[in-house]
């Protein structure tokens, strides 16, 4: 669920200095939810399949729907990781964005749904039985925006997370350069164990 940063750099001729300079803000927002939020995985799959990821408008709609869906599931939030960094060039931003994307995808046991530049790919999930109690789903939002300052600071509470997600729904569409939605597991019959969360997502901060 992404778009090339350089390809999205041309906005609609707006005069805003933030839109015409090379400064880019790259943000990562990662939320762990209790696996009882089974409808979340289904909803994310639905909106990802519908999204037109080949256009700025489609990516913005995907971002808004994702943020709204996470707000609807606030009762299931357990952990969060938030970071937003401003860099001086689009090349730096693209490198940082790709670093985050590769880092997060490397944690997946399987990626059964992708929608990149409007091309959808689906694979049948492979069952991976575990004797441990399943507990979590982790959702990651990666954004590149034309803002000249970070979108948010570190988050340590549900109230701050709610505020950030609400602000994301109010972002200006023309400022969105790139967006990628990742969640794991994607299979609704699967979820992450306590051990998975501790080993792969050790930087997440408990908020519930």
DSSP letter string over 143-162?
EEE--SS-S-----SHHHHH
pTM of the model: 0.83
Interval 42-65 mean pLDDT: 91
Q: For the CA atoms of 167, 168, 169, 172, what is the dihedral angle to 10 degrees? A: 100
* Tens digits of residue pLDDT in 19-35: 889 999 999 999 999 98
Domain extent listing, the chain: 17-121+134-206
Q: CB count, 10 Å around CB of 47?
A: 19
Distance CA 146, CA 40 (A): 29
Residues in the chain: 208
Per-residue pLDDT of 54-88, as tens digits, reads 888 999 999 999 999 999 999 999 999 999 999 99
Closest to 109 (Cα-Cα) out of 129, 135, 90? 129
- Cα dihedral angle (13, 23, 80, 105), rounded to 10 degrees? 90
Give the residue from 74, 33, 28, 69 showing the smallest Cα distance to 191.
Answer: 33
Q: What spatial distance separates the first Cα and last Cα of the chain, rounded to whole Å?
A: 29
């Amino acid at each position: 669920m992404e778009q090339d940063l350089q390809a999205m750099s041309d906005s609609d001729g707006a005069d805003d200095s933030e839109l015409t300079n090379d400064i880019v803000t790259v943000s990562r927002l990662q939320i762990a939810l209790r696996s009882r939020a089974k409808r979340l995985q289904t909803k994310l799959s639905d909106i990802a399949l519908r999204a037109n990821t080949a256009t700025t408008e489609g990516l913005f709609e995907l971002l808004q729907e994702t943020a709204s869906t996470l707000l609807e599931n606030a009762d299931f939030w357990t952990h969060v990781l938030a970071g937003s960094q401003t860099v001086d060039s689009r090349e730096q931003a693209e490198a940082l964005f790709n670093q985050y994307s590769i880092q997060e995808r490397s944690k997946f046991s399987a990626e059964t749904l992708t929608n990149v530049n409007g091309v959808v790919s689906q694979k049948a999930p492979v069952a991976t039985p575990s004797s441990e109690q399943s507990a979590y789903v982790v959702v990651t939002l990666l954004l590149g925006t034309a803002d000249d300052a970070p979108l948010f600071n570190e988050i340590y509470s549900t109230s701050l997370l709610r505020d950030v997600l609400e602000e994301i729904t109010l972002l200006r569409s023309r400022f969105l350069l790139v967006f990628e939605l990742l969640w794991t597991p994607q299979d609704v019959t699967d979820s992450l164990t306590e051990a998975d969360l501790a080993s792969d997502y050790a930087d997440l901060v408990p908020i519930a």
